[in-house]
Chain A
C-alpha cells in the first residue's frame, strides 16, 4: 500500500513542477500537469466573498486550457508586454478524499520582473486544488487560484 507520506511527496512534486513550468513559460507542458478531465480558474477573493461567479480566467475543460496556451503563444505575443514570474508555493492543507484523490490548499506569492528589470509583487493568494495521485505521479483534476490583491498590471500568464 502506498503511504500517505508518499502521496504527499507526489503532491509536492506536482506543486513544484507547476512553478517550474509556469515560471519557465513552458506553455506546452502546462496542460500536461492536468488530468484529462480538468478545470482551471483564477478568481478574486472579493467576488467569492460576495458570492459572485465571475473569474479572471475560466477554463472549464481541457480544450479551454489548450486554447489559453494558444492565446499566450500565438495570439498575444508581440503586442503584450512580457514579464517573468517567480512562484513561491507552500502547501497548507491536505485532505484525503479517497481513491487517491486529495483536496489540497497552498499559499502562493508571485513576483514579477519586467524587461527593464523593474520588479514587484504580481499576485498573492491561495490555491484550492483537487489532485489525483496515481502510479505515474500526481495530476490536477481541478485548480482554482484565489487572488487576494488587485493586480498591478494585466495578467497574461496563468498563475
Chain B
C-alpha cells in the first residue's frame, strides 16, 4: 500500500459514511485507482476473460488483459483451458501479439525462446551457454489460476481467491442461464468501445439502472416486467431474472423484425459480476461485456455476442441482426446507457456525492428489480475492501 493511498484513504473514509452515499473522488483519484488494481484486479477475485466458444478447438489461443497485465489463454491438447502472463520469461517481451489463433507453441521474437501452449519452456538457441544453474522449470510462463462455469473462463492471480462457486454464490445459476445451461455457445463477434469513465462508474450504471433512462422503451411501448432480484454477499454480484415479453408492434418502427423475439427460451437475465463484468441474455441476444480499466477515467469494453451451437442458420442470422442493433455500444437501447457513463464521470471532481435512494431502507428481501438498493451490496463490499469503512464494520 502506497503512502499516497494511505493519505487519501483517511480523507475518503471521513466522507464515505455509508455505502449508499459515494464520495465522487473514488471515481477520479489516481492513487485510489492504483490501489484498486492491486486489491481487486490482482487480488482474491475471479475475472471472466473469455468464453470457451472463443477457443473453439484444441490449440486455440486468445490474448487479453487483466487490467494492465497481458494474458494469454490457451486450450491445450488435453482440452484444458490455461492462462499465463503473456510475457516471455527471459527478458519480458510480449510473447504473442495476435488477438487469437491456433498454436501449439509460442516463439518469442527477441531471442527465439520457445514455449508450449501449456506454458512450459521447450528450448532456446544457445541453450548450452546459459548460466550453469539454469533450470528449465523456473522459466515456464507465469500461470494464472483458471476456473470455468458454463463455459465462461475466469482467471485469478491470487491464491487466496475462494473457489469459483463460492465466489459466484447465488449468481452461479442465473449466470448459467445466460450461457444456455450447457455453455455450448457459438461466437458471433465483438463490438469494442472505449468509455470515458472510471471502471466502477461503468459497472455501477451498466447492468442495473431504472428504465426511466430509456426513451426507447417508451416509444417502443416496452414495459419492464416484474423481475426477481438476487444479490450476493459478500461480493454484491447482482442478478435480475425476468421473462421476455413479446414486442407488440405499435407502428413506431418501420421494420420491427430485428427486435422481435423468435426463440423459445424466454428467460431474460442481467448479471453484474464484481468487480467489472456485465452479462445479459435478452430477447435473442447473449452478451458478455469484458471490461478493462485503461486508467482512472477510461474503460474499454469488449461486447462479445453469442448464439448456440444448435441454432438453425436462420435463427443465428436473426441473432446477428438483433445483436448488431440492440445492446452494444451503438445499440438502440444501450447507447443511452453509454451516454450516462460519460456524463457521470464528467462530474466526479466536484467534491460531491453520488447517492442511492430508491428502495434504500427496505429489507433486502423486498428489493425489487428497479430499486437502486441492489447495487449497494457491492458498494458495502468495496468500502470495506478499500479500507474506507470503520475498522471492523460488518458490511462487505
CB distance from B247 to the nearest CB of A (A): 13
Report B-chain residues with C-beta under 8 Å of the C-beta of A152: 194, 196
Contact A56 B330 (CB under 8 A): yes
Contact B339 A75 (CB under 8 A): no
Contact B216 A63 (CB under 8 A): no
A150 to B292, CA, bound (A): 13
A155 to B323, CA, bound (A): 15
Report B-chain residues with C-beta under 8 Å of the C-beta of A56: 191, 324, 328-330
Contact B215 A54 (CB under 8 A): no
Report B-chain residues with C-beta under 8 Å of the C-beta of A57: 324-325, 330
Contact residues on A (Cβ < 8 Å of other chain), bracket: 35 or more
CB distance from A127 to the nearest CB of B (A): 17
Contact B338 A154 (CB under 8 A): yes
A-contacting 9-mer, from B85-93, B106-114, B182-190, B272-280: B182-190
Query: What number of B residues sit within 8 Å (CB to CB) of A?
Result: 40
Residue of chain A at shortest CB distance from B342:
A81
Contact A153 B219 (CB under 8 A): no
Partner of B215, one of A59, A63, A75: A75
Report A-chain residues with C-beta under 8 Å of the C-beta of B191: 44, 54, 56
Contact B213 A79 (CB under 8 A): yes
Main secondary structure of the interface of A (DSSP, over half): loop
CB distance from B74 to the nearest CB of A (A): 17
Interface string of A52-76 (1 = CB under 8 A from B): 1111111111011011001100111
Q: Kindly count the residue-residue contacts between A and B in the assembled complex, taking CB atoms under 8 Å apart.
A: 115
Counting CB contacts under 8 A, is B130 at the interface?
no
Report B-chain residues with C-beta under 8 Å of the C-beta of A44: 189-192
Beta-carbon contacts under 8 Å, B239-275 to A: 252-255, 258
Report B-chain residues with C-beta under 8 Å of the C-beta of A150: 192-194, 300
Contact A55 to B213, CB < 8 A, known contacts A76-B336, A154-B338: no
Contact A58 to B196, CB < 8 A, known contacts A66-B254, A75-B332: no
Main secondary structure of the interface of B (DSSP, over half): mixed
Contact B190 A81 (CB under 8 A): no
Contact A47 to B332, CB < 8 A, known contacts A54-B305, A58-B325, A64-B258: no
A46 to B304, CA, bound (A): 13
Contact B196 A153 (CB under 8 A): yes
Report A-chain residues with C-beta under 8 Å of the C-beta of B328: 56
CB distance from A38 to the nearest CB of B (A): 13
A124 to B332, CA, bound (A): 23
Contact A153 B193 (CB under 8 A): yes
Counting CB contacts under 8 A, is B335 at the interface?
yes
Contact surface of B with A, Cβ cutoff 8 Å: 99-100, 187-196, 213, 215-216, 219, 252-255, 258, 300, 305, 317, 320-321, 323-325, 328-330, 332, 335-336, 338-340, 342-343
Contact surface of A with B, Cβ cutoff 8 Å: 41-42, 44, 46-47, 50, 52-61, 63-64, 66-67, 70-71, 74-76, 78-81, 150-156
In the assembled complex, 6 residue pairs joining A and B whose CB atoms fall closer than 8 Å, in A order, are A57-B330, A64-B258, A70-B254, A80-B336, A81-B343, A152-B194
